[in-house]
């Protein structure tokens, strides 16, 4: 019997079939419903945002790989997911320089500068979106320089639901916010579409659901305590996208069950504070980014007790 | 029959047991040659007591236990010693071995010998002595000398014997067949083990995917107040001692402690039969059941073969297709060792030879912190962080993350979407930490 084809590799010799690429493609698939509704509501404006942002993100990944001599990001699907998430954080009619700056910040600074997929401390898409917010003067200047069409602010939508909520303006109906309502970022167009995506991730076993539950619960509770309508606070703004897709980002959130719970509670609390105390502005994004910084510390503080550790819940003891 | 609780974590790998679970154990013709390693157990190796040219009969001692924690080895067939020297062992390293040219007239012990034994008349010391003489080690894979396990320290009273019939490794069915075909012998062996250790209760633990085995054991144990069959929900790694004790009794063995610290001794079903055979008829551990299976094996079978049978002979008997890239595993696919050569023998701890298509060699990715390993680790460790420490060769950090508590079940690497070779790293880490601590 010939032994030349024997291949030696370490145990286990069976694998579960979980792989990074299919998981990333699942996330992209889960973002399809909300992307579709945004196109339905905003038409070509949404298509432009999605195409430009995803293309810019993929190109940024290509360039970053050349700079650092890496191969990741494209084949594993992570850049596609970052691009989609980033696009959904922008309002329709955002001029392209903002999208490109967001993509570059996400890939170059948040991801590859930290070491590439797996080493990023912050969620790349949120980092890119927040960066664009902070660098607003630069973005405006670039937009003028390139003569890119300036966003026609709110000509279509009027005040976004979150602005209306903060200013005490009349609110759209809850049903329309759930199904399809213009205003805010692309992802805010339909709560139901985002929830459907989250449900798909949960079904596929990709969702760190403890984070989502904690975050949404705290925001709702804080709104109720603050005398606001919790339903509007859940359906409006970026909470659902944040709680189901951003805060649950594998790399930048804790791995321990208790760490995930604390992370979700913290992100919810910060979101509520920002929303109630400050003008409506990327509350969810900053809340999650701040919690990202604490993820490693949360993991260390909540490391599970080893099997049989005496401090664990008292074992049932010897059968009598 | 009772249904038990479970243990934390764990996974459900595809079982692949259908190819052999209904196939009765067969005794194939003797191989022409046996390669019998002198070191098949945890602990010290045996010392050769034969010379090149010696003629031996089936059952004769080839090597004698050298230390308290050691185990004798015996001839699985009559024949002539043609070589004593280092030969490739199943763990990938050379082991001092006795090579026997098998006498073509070598008889096989008749299958229907009388194994009746009067347990009441035996003392624990007698049982232990016969077990030691027979060179019995745990047949579940760990190969710890059984006579040592049957002598718990006096300050650790043992109340329960768990007979491990989980066989949670995919593909393997040797224990399954033993439970179906020899349930009464398993129970008799368990009673001897209980007698040797002073235990008063025997639990026969079977996973729910082997209902016929549970039924046979139940029938054989009917009317015995001290014997209970427990059917456990199928989950890997249920057969790991600590997991099994937790599932059966709800007792958690503390870190770095042993089952007898919670009053339990766990023995594999095959070991129980070997104990009975040793005590009843003085038969040494010279043969065992091996499941030869896998997608590239044409005629998968459960074979009762002498210890020392080269796996080449087994694969020829069962028809393995080795013309494509393949992996020949000694043991189960979750914890077994891939072989680079076929002149490696079946040893006491060899439960199966599994031949499957080789996985594509894909470079692993960085940890993406999906948390699947943390969720599923039955020892409640943090494989994600431990893997990162190991990749950086940071052994001090690996020690702090409890690398030494890893039971190497393979669950973390099984679920890892980045295909990180976590268990391989953890094995290295354990060796490095041990070396560090010796300094």
Q: Do A116 and B316 touch (CB under 8 A)?
A: no
Residue that is written with structure tokens 């069409």 in the block: A149
**Cβ contact, residue pair B255, A3, below 8 Å:** no
Helices vs strands, H then E, count in chain B: 13, 17
pLDDT (mean) for B130-144: 91
B392 touches chain A (CB under 8 A): no
**pLDDT digits over B245-300, tens only?**
999 999 999 999 999 999 999 999 999 999 999 999 999 999 999 999 999 999 99
pLDDT score at B173: 97
Is residue B167 predicted with pLDDT exceeding 90?
A: yes
Instruction: State the average pLDDT over residues A86-108.
Output: 94
**Residue that is written with structure tokens 């069915």 in the block:** B173
Instruction: List the single range of A169-173, B178-182, B318-322, B343-347 with lowest mean pLDDT.
Output: A169-173
* B375-434 per-position pLDDT tens digit: 999 999 999 999 999 999 999 999 999 999 999 999 999 999 999 999 999 999 999 999
Closest by alpha carbon to A197, among A85, A32, A84, A20? A32
- Average pLDDT across chain A, whole number: 89
The B160-165 sheet, strands edge to edge: B2-3, B227-232, B201-207, B160-165, B264-268
For residue range A139-152, list pLDDT tens digits in order: 888 888 887 665 54
Q: Rounded to an integer, what distance in angstroms lies between the CA atom of residue B250 and that of residue B125?
A: 30
Q: How far is A195 from chain B (nearest CA, A)?
A: 21
| Size of chain A in residues | 320
Test B371 with A250 for CB contact under 8 angstroms. Answer: yes
Query: In the structure encoding, which two tokens stand for residue A78, read together?
Result: 């992570």
Sequence ranges of the domains in chain B = 2-21+117-281, 372-438
Q: At what angle do helices B269-281 and B183-197 cross, to 10 degrees?
A: 80
Token pair recorded at residue A69: 């001599």
* Bond into A12 cis (ω within 30): yes
Yes or no, beta carbons of B315 and A1 under 8 Å apart: yes
A310 part of contact set with chain B, CB < 8 Å? yes
Q: What is the pLDDT of residues B201-247, one digit of tens each?
A: 999 999 999 999 999 999 999 999 999 999 999 999 999 999 999 99
Percent pLDDT > 90 in chain B is 90
- Which band of pLDDT confidence, cut at 50, 70 and 90, is reported for residue A319? very low
Q: Span B168-197, mean pLDDT?
A: 97
Q: What is the pLDDT of residue A10?
A: 93
A191 by DSSP, 3-state: which?
helix
CATH of segment(s) B2-21+117-281? 3.40.50.11540
Model pLDDT for residues B12-29, shown as the tens digit of each residue: 999 999 999 999 999 999
Helices A44-68 and A78-88: angle between axes, nearest 10 degrees:
140
- A-facing residues of B in 351-390 (CB < 8 A) are 354, 356, 358-359, 361, 365-372, 374-375, 378-382, 384-385
A207, closest residue in chain B (CA to CA): B370
Task: With CB atoms and an 8 Å threshold, state whether B358 touches A7.
Answer: yes
Contact between A99 and A58 under an 8 Å Cβ cutoff? The reply is: no
Contact status of B339 with chain A (Cβ, < 8 Å): yes
Q: Do A13 and B14 touch (CB under 8 A)?
A: no
CA-nearest of A229, A299, A288 to A264 is A288
State the ipTM, two decimals: 0.91
What SS3 state is found at A85? helix
Residue A159, pLDDT > 80, answer: no
Closest alpha carbon within chain A to B366: A118
* CB-CB neighbors (< 8 A) of B338 in chain A: 6-11, 13
Cα separations in angstroms, B332 against A281, A286, A288, B320: 56, 49, 44, 17
Contact B316, B285 (CB under 8 A): no
- Candidates B16, B371, B377, B416: best to mutate against A (most CBs of A within 10 A) is B371
Q: Are A123 and A86 in contact (CB under 8 A)?
A: no
**How far is CA B267 from each of CA A12, A26, A76, A122, B50, rounded to the nearest angstrom?**
24, 44, 45, 49, 31
For residue B159, which residues of chain A lie inside 8 Å, CB to CB? 318
Check pLDDT > 50 for residue B147.
yes
CB A15 within 8 A of CB B419: yes
Query: Considering chain B, what is the average pLDDT of its residues?
Result: 94
The DSSP annotation for B216-276 comes to HHHHHTTT-TTEEEEEEPP-BTTTSHHHHHHHHH-PPPPTT--GGGGTEEEEEHHHHHHHH
List the one residue out of B405, B419, B172 whose CA is nearest residue A12: B419
pLDDT digits (tens, 9 = 90+) for A27-64: 999 999 999 999 999 999 999 999 999 999 999 999 99
Q: What does the pLDDT read at residue A279?
A: 65
Give the C-alpha separation, A36 to A29, whole Å.
11
CB contact under 8 A, B405 and A312: no
Give the pLDDT of residue B5: 74
Which residue of chain B comes nearest to A15, CA vs CA?
B414
CB A31 within 8 A of CB B356: no
Q: How far is CA B89 from the centre of its chain?
A: 16
Mean pLDDT, rounded, for A50-79? 95
Mean pLDDT of B192-198: 96
Q: Cα distance from A18 to chain B (closest Cα, Å)? A: 5
- Give the pLDDT confidence of B73-113 residue by residue, as tens digits: 999 999 999 999 999 999 989 999 999 999 987 766 555 67
Q: In Å, how far are A52, A78, A84 from B368, measured between CA atoms?
A: 27, 11, 19
Return the SS3 of B37.
Answer: strand
Which residues, including other chains, have CB under 8 Å from residue B189's CB and lie 6 or more apart? B271, B272, B273, B274, B275, B276
Contact B346, B313 (CB under 8 A): no
Asked whether the beta carbons of A73 and A65 are under 8 A apart, the reply is: yes
């Amino acid at each position: 019997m010939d032994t030349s084809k024997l291949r030696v590799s370490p145990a286990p010799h069976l694998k579960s079939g979980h792989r990074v690429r299919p998981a990333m493609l699942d996330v992209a698939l889960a973002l399809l419903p909300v992307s579709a509704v945004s196109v339905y509501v905003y038409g070509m404006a949404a298509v432009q945002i999605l195409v430009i942002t995803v293309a810019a993100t993929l190109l940024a990944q290509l360039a970053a790989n050349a700079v650092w001599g890496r191969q990741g990001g494209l084949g594993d699907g992570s850049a596609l997911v970052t691009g989609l998430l980033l696009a959904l954080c922008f309002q329709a009619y955002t001029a392209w320089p903002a999208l490109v700056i967001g993509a570059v910040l996400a890939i170059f600074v948040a991801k590859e500068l930290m070491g590439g997929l797996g080493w990023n401390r912050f969620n790349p898409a949120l980092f890119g979106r927040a960066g664009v917010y902070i660098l607003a003067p630069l973005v405006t200047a670039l937009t003028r320089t390139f003569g890119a069409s300036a966003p026609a602010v709110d000509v279509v939508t009027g005040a976004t639901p979150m602005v209306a909520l903060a200013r005490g303006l009349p609110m759209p109906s809850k049903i329309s916010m759930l199904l399809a309502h213009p205003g805010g970022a692309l992802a805010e167009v339909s709560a139901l579409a985002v929830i459907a995506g989250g449900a798909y991730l949960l079904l596929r076993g990709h969702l760190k659901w403890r984070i989502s539950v904690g975050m949404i619960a705290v925001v709702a509770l804080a709104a109720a305590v603050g005398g606001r309508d919790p339903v509007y606070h859940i359906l409006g703004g970026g909470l659902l996208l944040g709680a189901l897709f951003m805060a649950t980002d594998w790399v930048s959130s804790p791995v321990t069950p208790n760490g995930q719970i604390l992370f979700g509670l913290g992100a919810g609390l910060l979101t509520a504070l920002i929303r109630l105390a400050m003008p409506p502005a990327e509350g969810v994004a900053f809340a999650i980014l701040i919690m990202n910084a604490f993820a490693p510390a949360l993991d260390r503080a909540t490391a599970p007790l080893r099997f049989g550790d005496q401090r664990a819940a008292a074992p049932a003891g010897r059968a009598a | 029959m009772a249904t038990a609780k479970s243990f934390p974590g764990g996974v459900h790998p595809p079982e692949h047991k259908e190819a052999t679970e209904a196939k009765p154990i067969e005794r194939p013709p003797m191989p022409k040659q046996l390669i019998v390693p002198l070191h098949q157990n945890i602990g010290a190796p045996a010392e050769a007591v034969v010379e090149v040219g010696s003629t031996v009969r089936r059952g004769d001692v080839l090597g004698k236990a050298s230390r308290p924690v050691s185990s004798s080895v015996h001839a699985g067939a009559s024949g002539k010693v043609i070589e004593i020297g280092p030969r490739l062992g199943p763990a990938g390293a050379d082991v001092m071995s006795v090579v026997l040219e098998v006498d073509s007239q070598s008889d096989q012990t008749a299958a229907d010998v009388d194994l009746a034994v009067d347990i009441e008349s035996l003392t624990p010391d007698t049982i232990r002595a016969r077990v030691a003489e027979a060179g019995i080690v745990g047949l579940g894979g760990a190969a710890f000398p059984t006579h040592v396990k049957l002598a718990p320290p006096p300050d650790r009273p043992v109340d329960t014997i768990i007979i491990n019939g989980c066989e949670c490794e995919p593909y393997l069915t040797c224990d399954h067949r033993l439970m179906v075909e020899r349930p009464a012998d398993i129970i008799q062996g368990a009673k001897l083990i209980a007698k040797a250790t002073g235990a008063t209760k025997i639990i026969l633990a079977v996973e729910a995917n082997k209902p016929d085995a549970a039924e046979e054991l139940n029938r054989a144990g009917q009317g015995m107040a001290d014997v209970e069959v427990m059917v456990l929900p199928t989950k890997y790694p249920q057969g790991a001692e600590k997991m099994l004790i937790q599932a059966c009794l709800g007792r958690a063995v503390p870190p770095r402690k042993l089952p007898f610290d919670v009053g339990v001794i766990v023995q594999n079903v095959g070991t129980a039969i070997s104990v009975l055979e040793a005590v009843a008829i003085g038969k040494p551990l010279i043969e065992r059941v091996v499941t030869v299976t896998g997608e590239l094996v044409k005629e998968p079978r459960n074979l009762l073969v002498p210890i020392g049978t080269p796996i080449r002979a087994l694969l020829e008997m069962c028809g393995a297709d080795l013309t494509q890239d393949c992996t020949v595993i000694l043991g189960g696919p979750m914890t077994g060792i891939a072989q680079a050569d076929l002149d490696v023998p079946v040893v006491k701890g060899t439960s199966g030879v599994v031949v499957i298509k080789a996985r594509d060699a894909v470079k692993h990715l960085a940890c993406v912190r999906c948390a699947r390993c943390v969720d599923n680790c039955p020892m409640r460790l943090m494989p994600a962080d431990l893997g990162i420490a190991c990749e950086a060769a940071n052994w001090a950090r690996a020690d702090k993350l409890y690398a030494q508590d890893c039971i190497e079940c393979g669950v973390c690497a099984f679920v890892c979407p980045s295909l990180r070779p976590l268990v391989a790293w953890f094995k290295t880490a354990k060796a490095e930490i041990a070396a560090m601590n010796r300094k």
